[in-house]
Amino acid sequence: MKEVVTVISTIITRTHPCQQDLGDEDEAQEEVEGSSEYDWLVIDTALDAVIGLAVALGPAFAELWKIFEKPILKFAASESENIERSTGVGVVAECAANMADAVTPYTEKLLKLLLKRLSDTDPETKSNAAYATGQLIYNSTDSNTYLPHYPTILQKLESMLQVREARIKDNAAGCLSRMILAHPDQIPLGDVLPALVNLLPLKDDYEENPPVYQCILKLCKSPCRHTSRYWSSCLTGFR
């Protein structure tokens, strides 16, 4: 494991020998345009390995996150490369999902980044940010940190529901559902439920189906009269 982590770390920080220009400068200059794509492919594949470690280790991955956090957040914070931002945010999402509640100590730092990326100009980054935000809220137990930002997140998600890209809408629906699952009492259900039901069925990112339908099922089973009274208008429109 130590060797694996070391190699991955050198790749995502661009310090591995395969990423160094060791040849003639003139030849390197001629090949730079074609090599940049391969340079990112190496990093992208290493980031897939990071996600694989998170899947394999689950909550125990939280210790390794301390090692990978800085370079991954650097990609996610990139202001020049859309692919770096979208990939970095996507890795954050997958790691948060697999760490489960072990992600809690990192809530504040991750949330600060994701709140910014929810308004990103790049559609892929914005979509990944919605997915990541939902995973962070659903898994973190640090509600004191994220609950004050619920209104801001809801406002950003509302704008996503108005776009044409199906994947953005689906990820916004998943984020909204995870927020409801975590704290239904913090959501204006009368406004949110009709919008959520109106998105169904999801059109692109089917991995977001489980939280959406879990959310609906939970609310249907809720004994709260304030919840049940919203369903007749919602489901009538859905039918």
Domain made up of 2-238: CATH architecture:
Alpha Horseshoe (1.25)
- Please say whether the beta carbons of 96 and 103 come within 8 A: yes
In terms of Cβ atoms closer than 10 Å to its own Cβ (0-12, 13-18, 19+), residue 194 is middle
Tokens 């914005």 correspond to 126
Residue 87's identity, in one-letter code, is T
pLDDT at 32: 45
pLDDT at 19: 82
Rounded to whole angstroms, how far apart are CA atoms 126 and 171?
Answer: 9
Provide block-wise average pLDDT over 10 residues at a time, the chain (239 residues).
96 90 54 64 96 98 97 94 96 98 98 97 96 98 97 95 92 96 92 88 94 91 59 51
The overall pTM is greater than 0.85: yes
Rounded to whole angstroms, how far apart are CA atoms 48 and 46?
Answer: 5
> DSSP states of 160-208 as a string?
HTTSS-HHHHHHHHHHHHHHHHH-GGGS-HHHHHHHHHHTPSPSS-GGG
Alpha-carbon distances of 107 from 29, 162, 192, 197, rounded to whole Å: 42, 28, 25, 29
